[in-house]
Amino acid sequence: MSATRPAAVVVLAAGGGTRMKSATPKVLHTLGGRSLIGHALVAARETEPDHVVVVVGHDRDRVVEHVSVEDPMAVIADQDDTPGTGRAVECGLAVLPEDLVGTVVVTMGDTPLLSGHALRDLTAGHVATGCAATVITATLDDPTGYGRILRDDGGAVVGNVEHKDATAGQLAITEVNSGIYAFDAATLRATLPRVGNDNSQAERYLTDVLAIIHKDGGRVGAHRLDDTWQTEGVNDRVQLARLGAEYNRRIVERWMRAGVTVIDPATTWLDADVTLGVDVTIHPNTQIHGASTIGSDVAIGPDTTLTDVEIGDGATVVRTQGTLAVVGAGATVGPFAYLRAGTTVGVHGKIGAFVETKNAQLGAGAKVPHLSYVGDAEIGAGSNIGAGTIFANYDGVDKHRTTVGEHAKTGANNTFVAPVTIGDGAVTGGGTVVRRDVSPGSLAVSTGPQRNIEGWVESRRPGSAAAMAAGRRNEAGRADKGGGADQADST
Ligand code: UD1
Ligand code: CA
CA-CA distances (angstroms) from residue 376 to 200, 342, 418?
Answer: 61, 9, 9
Residue 109 Cα: closest atom of ligand 1: 30
The whole-angstrom separation of Cα 240 and Cα 432 is 54
Q: Calculate the CA 179 to chain-centre distance.
A: 27
Q: Best of 63, 82, 85, 209 to mutate for ligand 1, by most ligand atoms within 8 A of CB? A: 85
CA distance 439 to 436: 10
Mapped onto helix, strand or coil, the DSSP state of residue 133 is strand
The CA angle 252-256-260, to the nearest 5 degrees, is 110
The whole-angstrom separation of Cα 198 and Cα 80 is 19
Decide: 411 and 428 in contact? Cβ < 8 Å.
yes
Give SS3 for 37.
helix
Confirm if 422 and 405 have CB atoms less than 8 A apart.
yes
Amino acid at position 234, single letter: V
Cα 380 to Cα 49, 326, 349, 388, 426: the distances in Å are 52, 16, 11, 19, 11
Domains of the chain by range and CATH?
A: 8-231 (3.90.550.10), 260-444 (2.160.10.10)
Q: Which of 9, 11, 12 to mutate to test the pocket of ligand 1 (most atoms within 8 A of CB)?
A: 12
Cα–Cα separations (whole angstroms), residue 86 to 155, 402, 454, 473, 474: 25, 62, 93, 92, 95
Which atom of ligand 1 lies nearest, measured to the CA of 13? 26
User: What per-residue confidence (pLDDT) applies to 2?
Assistant: 60
Cα of 212 from ligand 2 centre, angstroms:
22
H helix runs in 276-390, sequence order: none
Alpha carbons 270 and 283: distance in angstroms, whole number: 13
**Is the separation of the CB atoms in 52 and 11 below 8 Å?**
yes
User: Residue 108 C-alpha to ligand 1 middle, in angstroms?
Assistant: 7
Q: Which amino acid residue places its CA nearest to atom 2 of ligand 1?
A: 179
Ligand nearest the Cα atom of residue 37:
1
- Work out whether strand 299-300 and strand 316-317 pair parallel, antiparallel, or are unpaired: parallel
The strand pair at 427-428 and 293-294 is best described as unpaired
**Buried b / exposed e across 69-78, counting CB within 10 Å, b at 16+?**
ebbeebbbbe
Backbone φ and ψ for 407, nearest 5 degrees, come out as 50, 35
Q: Which ligand is nearest to the CA of 13?
A: 1
* pLDDT value, residue 16: 85
Q: Ligand 1, residue 55: give the atom nearest the CA.
A: 22
Handedness of CA 256, 259, 262, 267 (dihedral sign): negative
Annotation marks residue 117 as catalytic:
no
Which atom in ligand 1 lies closest to the alpha carbon of residue 146?
12
Ligand nearest to the CA of 147: 1
H or E element in which residue 318 lies: none
Residue 201 has what pLDDT? Answer: 95
Distance between CA 125 and CA 131 in Å, rounded?
9
DSSP β-bridge partners for residue 362: 379
Task: State the Cα–Cα distance between residues 472 and 424, nearest whole angstrom.
Answer: 49
Which residues' Cβ are closer than 6 Å to ligand 1? Answer: 12-15, 27, 55, 57, 79, 83-85, 88, 108-110, 146-147, 160, 162, 176-179, 205-207, 233, 235
Report how far residue 360's alpha carbon sits from residue 379's, in angstroms, rounded to the nearest whole number.
8
Buried (b) or exposed (e) across 399-412, using 16+ Cβ within 10 A?
ebbbbbbbbbbbbb
What values do phi and psi take at 124, rounded to 5?
A: -60, -45
Nearest listed ligand to the Cα of residue 39 = 1
Q: Which atom of ligand 1 is nearest to the CA of 160?
A: 11
Identify residue 176 by its one-letter amino acid code.
V
Q: What pLDDT does residue 134 have?
A: 98
Kindly report the protein residue whose alpha carbon is nearest to atom 22 of ligand 1.
14
Instruction: Give the number of C-alpha atoms closer than 13 A to the C-alpha of residue 467, restricted to the C-beta side.
Output: 10
108 CA to centre of ligand 2 in angstroms: 7
The torsion region of residue 29 among left (phi > 0), alpha (psi -120 to 50) and beta comes to: beta
For residue 16, how far is its CA from the centre of ligand 1 (angstroms)? Answer: 10
Handedness of CA 129, 1, 231, 117 (dihedral sign): positive
Cβ atoms within 10 Å, residue 30? 17
Measured at the alpha carbon of residue 347, what is the angle toward residues 343 and 353, in degrees to the nearest 5?
60
CA distance 427 to 435: 14
Distance from residue 79's CA to the centre of ligand 2 (Å): 17
Q: At what angle do helices 36-46 and 60-70 cross, to 10 degrees?
A: 40
Alpha helices in 216-298 (DSSP H): 237-257
Handedness of CA 231, 110, 121, 252 (dihedral sign): negative
Round to whole Å and give the CA distance between 400 and 310: 26
Q: What b-and-e string marks burial along 323-356, b requiring 16 or more CB atoms within 10 Å of the CB?
A: bbbbbbbbbbbbebbbbbebbbbbbbbbbbeebb
AA identity, residue 229: W
Instruction: Single out the catalytic residue among 29, 163, 214, 370.
Output: 370
Distance 28 CA to ligand 2 centre (A): 14
Q: What whole-number distance in Å separates Cα of residue 177 and Cα of residue 326?
A: 46
pLDDT in tens, the chain (491 residues): 466 799 999 999 999 899 999 999 999 999 999 999 999 999 999 999 999 999 999 999 999 999 999 999 999 999 999 999 999 999 999 999 999 999 999 999 999 999 999 999 999 999 999 999 999 999 999 999 999 999 999 999 999 999 999 999 999 999 999 999 999 999 999 999 999 999 999 999 999 999 999 999 999 999 999 999 999 999 999 999 999 999 999 999 999 999 999 999 999 999 999 999 999 999 999 999 999 999 999 999 999 999 999 999 999 999 999 999 999 999 999 999 999 999 999 999 999 999 999 999 999 999 999 999 999 999 999 999 999 999 999 999 999 999 999 999 999 999 999 999 999 999 999 999 999 999 999 999 998 899 999 999 999 999 999 999 999 999 998 888 875 444 444 44
Tell me the β-bridge partners of 325: 343
Helices in 178-286 by DSSP H: which ranges?
Answer: 185-191, 208-215, 237-257
- Cα 225 versus chain centre, distance: 28
Distance between CA atoms of residues 355 and 375, nearest Å: 11
